Amino acid sequence: MPRTYTEYEEGSEEAKAKIEVLKNVLETYVKRNPRVGYLQGMNFIVARLLSVMEEEEAFWTLCMLAESLLPVGYYSNLLGVLIDIKVFDYLLSRKRPLLLDHMESANPPFTVTLLAFNWFLTIFINHLNLPLETEYIIWDMFFI
């Protein structure tokens, strides 16, 4: 969890306080839904939620994301993530075949699966180095 808040000095009081709240939300979710449990990436989603809402709201929003908005199995067995990656790969092959060919011919090959897995798992948070405003626009579109 310390790598979730890299903007704070490791071990600082502010970092400890943020990690404690993050940990509370994630541990409570694991207790609520042990079938899904915790998956890498949830920490980034919850951290972003905590930047705009209180702890309880972040918990219930995580529940809504993992249990209602995302397809069944998105987090429990990652089937939804894998399906999204296949769709993304297909769309790249149809709309940007030269980009896909370039990525796959790199040494080592830069596969769509490698690229997109964290994007989809975290709903585009922290993995694109996008401006915060852009992340919020993506999330607005997702929730709509």
10-residue mean pLDDT profile of the chain (144 residues): values are: 75 87 96 86 91 96 90 79 88 92 80 80 76 88 88
pLDDT at 55: 97
- What confidence score (pLDDT) does residue 53 get? 94
Residue type, 39: L
Q: Is the full-model pTM beyond 0.85? A: no
Structural domain harbouring 137: 2-143
Q: If you search the block for the tokens 């989809």, which residue do you land on?
A: 120
Contacts of 107 (CB under 8 A, 6+ apart): none
Total domains in the fold of the chain: 1
pLDDT of residue 127: 59
pLDDT of residue 52: 92
- What is the token pair recorded at 115? 């690229």
